[in-house]
Structure formats: structure tokens, C-alpha cells
Amino acid sequence: MELWQELLRQSIDTAEDFAEVFGVDKDLMRKIIERYPARINPYYLSLIRYKGDPIWLQCFPDIKELEDEAMPEDPLDEDAMSPVPSITHRYPDRVLFLVTSQCSMYCRFCTRKRKVGDSSKINMKFIQDGIEYIRNHPEVRDVILSGGDPLMLTDYMLEKIIKALREIPHVEIIRIGTKMPCVLPQRITENLCNMLKKYHPIYVNTHFNHPWEITPESKRACEMLADAGIPVGNQTVLLRGVNDDPYVMQELMKKLLAIRVRPYYIYQADITRGANHFRTPIKVGIEIMDKLRGHISGLAVPYYVIDAPGGGGKIPILPQYVIAHNENEIIVRNFKYEIYVYPDVKEDEIEEIRYEPKPTAEKRKIIERKKWLVE
């Protein structure tokens, strides 16, 4: 048994565990966990500094999860876009492929709270059906493995799935969406990296939400993936009480770059039943973006997006940099709120640019002779 599997076995995941470790009401914990499974592995537990801190809020069951029954269970309409149970096909050329329902730590804000932790939601038949669906749809060139967390699978099982996808000629890109580098970095092993290297191009998107999650262990995990030739991106969720502060986000984004992880998205938290208490006003996200662009390296600035309810896809939200725009000029402001006027160009004023082939040696001699005659 590998270290990460041993740590998983030591996780807190029952009402009795929570009552014993934290001294909380066992019946209350049972009430929450029966609806939304909980698991905190020893590594992620060690990152908690005090009750109610940004790490605690992400992993500790809260009675608020049972208080927003009016919210939708499936806000992104994933189930309606699932031709087979393991596939969500929302965009033309790519699919989300759910290969497990299990996670090493159950985030309390998860948009798939209706599915995670329930082993009946994903099984081997569903996985095989997903591979067959991808094989029969040549427009699919990009497959994102998700779940649950795909790295909850053993190396052997994960390789079986990736190998089957690589044998489909039209699948060009394989992505893995995993929180393991953040919540259980011991899962990133030399064996795993060596296996993944055989199936390039492989991309990993991981999920850090707070600077405290960047530790020597998570740094090592992300750098191992990068050393294996696997680009690593990060998808942060904007969460009330966790990272809804521009300077916390600045620190997080800078620290991610330092461990060779490229910030990719900041998500507005989805309107999900059991997670509505994490949502922030959209103006908070816009203010955060305003304090990132120009204030830190452009490499560290992600897109702020809303995943549109009803399956509309990701929509970028930007601060307002354009103050006015007419046919002659555009008035803009920069990150310091300094105002600039930039002259625009009218379509009918643009001269047609014609392609001039490279002159032959003979033509170059004639040109040079003309220059000499003029001089």
C-alpha cells in the first residue's frame, strides 16, 4: 500500500470521527453527512490553523448545507447534457468524462454534491460506455477526466482509461481535473508521473483556493508533474470567507506561479444546493480582478468566469476599462485609473496591404542600380 492510500484510510469520514476529533454534536454531523458525504484526510487536516479558518470552511460540514433547499442540485444542467451517465457533452469538440465519484477530501462547496461520494453514480460499465461514446463521436478531440477525483483511481486503472482514449485517433488532448496536488499531494508519485509521460499531450488542472494550501508537499507534487512535461493550471473558486479578498488572491496567484502552476480560472461559485452560503456578490470578483491586472505579473492573472446556469458554458467577466468609444477614438483607463485617449482607425481609411513576393536576385540588382542612379 502506498503512502497516499494509507493516509486515505486514516481519514475522518463518519459522524463518530468528527465528534471524537472535534468535540462536535454527533447527531448533527450524522444529519449532514447522510446528505452530503464528508472526508478530511490527515494531510489536509494538518493545514487547519483554527476553527473557522479558510481551510476549515472548505472541508468541515456545516448545518448551512441543509438550509438552502430552494437551490438547484444540478445548476449547470450536466445531467441533461449526458448522453451516457459518465459523459457531459456541452462544448462542440470536448467532453467531460466522469471516471469516479470518490474524492480524498469532499469540498463543502462542490457543484457536484449530488454525485460525489455515491459509488452507484459511477461504475465500470459507465466508464466503458463513456469510452465508446467518445470513440463514436469524431468531433471530440479533447477529453477532460473528472469525477470525483480521477487520481483516486489506482495507477493501473487510470492507465487503462488513458490508454483506451489514446487509441482513439481523433482524441488529441487528454486533461485531468484533480485536486490531489492541493489536498493530498502524496498521491503524485514517480510511478504516476512516469505512467502519464507515456501518453502526452497530457494536461492537469488542479484546484488551490488559498495561499495556506501551498506547502512544501504541494510544491513538490506540482513540480513533479511539471518535470514530467505536464502543464499544470489552476482553477480557483471564489468563496465567501476563504478568498474573497483581493490581497489573498494576489498572494495565491503569485505563489502558484512560483511552484510552476499557471492560474487559469477564478470561478464565481455556482448556485448549488448545499453550497449557496459560499457565494459572493459578482462585484467582489470584479474588484479582485481589478486588483490583479497590472498589479501582478500577467502570467499570474486568470480569467474570472461565471459558469452560466442551465449549461450555457463559461462566460468571462471583466472590470470596465473602456470609458467611451466613438468612430474616432477610444477612451480607456489603466490599472492606476489613469485616463488615456487612443485614436481609432476607420475601416475605409485602412489601406489594403498587398503581398509582395521576395524579389529575385536579378530584380534586386535592378533595384540597387536605380538607387545608385538616383543618388
User: Which of 281, 298, 316 delimits the end of a domain?
Assistant: 316
Annotated binding-site residue? 193: no
Q: What does each of the 375 residues of the chain score in pLDDT, given as a tens digit?
A: 899 999 999 999 999 999 999 999 999 999 999 999 999 999 999 999 999 999 999 999 999 999 988 899 998 999 999 999 999 999 999 999 999 999 999 999 999 999 898 888 778 889 999 999 999 999 999 999 999 999 999 999 999 999 999 999 999 999 999 999 999 999 999 999 999 999 999 999 999 999 999 999 999 999 999 999 999 999 999 999 999 999 999 999 999 999 999 999 999 999 999 999 999 999 999 999 999 999 999 999 999 999 988 778 899 999 999 999 988 899 999 999 999 999 988 766 655 545 555 556 665 555 455 444 444
- Positions of E strands within 152-284: 173-177, 202-206, 232-238, 262-268
Boundary-marking domain end, from 316, 334, 357 = 316
Q: State the catalytic residues.
A: 90-91, 94, 103, 107, 110, 112, 270, 307, 314
Residue 274 domain-assigned (yes or no): yes
Q: What is the pTM of this model?
A: 0.89
> Are both 342 and 238 inside the same structural domain?
no
Do 270 and 145 reside in the same domain of the chain? Answer: yes
Beta carbons within 10 angstroms of residue 222's beta carbon: 26
Do 214 and 91 lie in a common domain? yes
241 and 345 assigned to the same domain: no
Q: Locate 156 and state its grid cell.
A: 493501473
182 annotated to a ligand binding site = no
102 inside domain: yes
Residues 275 and 369 in one domain: no
Q: Is residue 208 part of a domain?
A: yes
In this structure, the answer to whether residues 262 and 338 fall within a common structural domain is no
Query: What b/e string do you get for 350-361 counting C-beta neighbours within 10 Å, with b at 16 or more?
Result: eeeeeeeeeeee
Same domain, 174 and 306: yes
Domain presence at residue 61: no
Of 316, 338, 353, the position where a domain reaches its end is 316
Question: 164 and 310, same structural domain?
Answer: yes
Q: What grid cell was written down for 200?
A: 502526452
329 lies in the same domain as 286: no
Count: domains in the chain:
2
Same domain, 123 and 98: yes
- Identity of the residue numbered 19: A
On whether both 240 and 259 belong to a single domain, the answer is: yes
* One-letter amino acid for residue 360 of the chain: T
Q: Is 107 annotated to bind ligand?
A: yes
In a domain, 28, yes or no: no
Backbone angles phi, psi at 125, to 5 degrees: -65, -40
For residues 195 and 280, state if they share a domain.
Answer: yes
Return the C-alpha cell found at 263: 492560474
Domain of residue 330, residue span:
322-374
CATH code for the domain of 249? 3.20.20.70
Q: Output DSSP code: residue 306.
A: E
Residue 51 domain flag: no
305 falls within a domain: yes
Residue 74 lies inside a defined structural domain of this protein: no
